[in-house]
Amino acid sequence: MSTLTLDNVTVQRGELPLCTSVNLDLAAGDICHLIGANGTGKTTLLMQLAGLLPVLTGLVHYQGQVGLPVQPLYVSHQLGIHPSLTVAQNLTFLLNLYGVSPTFTEINEALEWVGLQGFEDLSSSHLSAGQTRRITLARLYLLTPDITPLWLLDEPFTALDVDMVARMEHRLRKFTAAGGSILMTSHQSVGVADQMLDLSEYMA
């Protein structure tokens, strides 16, 4: 069964259609690289699929059901990090949104994975933009397909060094090998992707 199916979906910002008749079939184990020229609506589509913007035309099937009965994981440019909370508190909050209550050890392991070991009790207001973004990525270390079967990732490799990109790609492979599905944007090449959706082909 497909994790995500798009059937003639219109990508639109307000009343303005950006792309029309977009189709996609994303099965368990798939990583799809979402590409397209600037302005084609890559982020807009991810926001629609995350339930943050409406899908006004076409159908979205998620795990065999119409609509979004279970919210996918969405990692976006809008980081969702509260500056008055510590690094550990922010990561805990992000995981709590998906019903996960991490242990102290799990928090430390996830932060070590993104290179933020020793930052657990630091106020997030003291972090750089790149470090703050790593908090949002740290949750990927602890989330599995039984918790979040679909990941929607908007430019997850931005501002990451080569080593961290390699760690991310390994984690994406591990997630899909366990039955997860990923739709992601990236201005970099995505060596782990097994399919591609080019929105430039669907421009209104």
From first to last of the 204 residues of the chain, give the pLDDT tens digit: 789 999 999 999 888 999 999 999 999 999 999 999 999 999 999 999 999 999 999 999 998 888 877 779 999 876 789 999 999 999 999 999 999 999 999 999 999 999 999 999 999 999 998 899 999 999 999 999 999 999 999 999 988 899 999 999 999 999 999 999 999 999 888 999 999 999 999 998
Residue with tokens 């397909």: 145
What's the pLDDT score for residue 147?
94
Q: Which CATH architecture has domain 1-72+149-158+181-204?
A: 3-Layer(aba) Sandwich (3.40)
Q: CB neighbours (10 Å) of residue 105?
A: 8
Strand partners, 62: 4, 65
Backbone angles phi, psi at 160, to 5 degrees: -100, 145
What's the confidence (pLDDT) of residue 78? 67
pLDDT value, residue 85: 96
Whether the CA torsion 107, 98, 178, 186 is positive or negative: it is negative
What's the confidence (pLDDT) of residue 58? Answer: 96
**What gap in Å lies between CA 107 and CA 16, rounded to an integer?**
42
Give the homologous superfamily in CATH for domain 74-148. Answer: P-loop containing nucleotide triphosphate hydrolases (3.40.50.300)
Is 118 within 8 Å of 70 (Cβ atoms)?
no
Q: Which helix (H) or strand (E) holds 75?
A: strand 73-75
Longest dimension (CA), the chain: 49
Which regions of the chain carry the CATH code 3.40.50.300? 1-72+149-158+181-204, 74-148
Residue 50 φ/ψ, nearest 5 degrees: -85, -5
At which residue do the structure tokens 């792309």 appear? 19
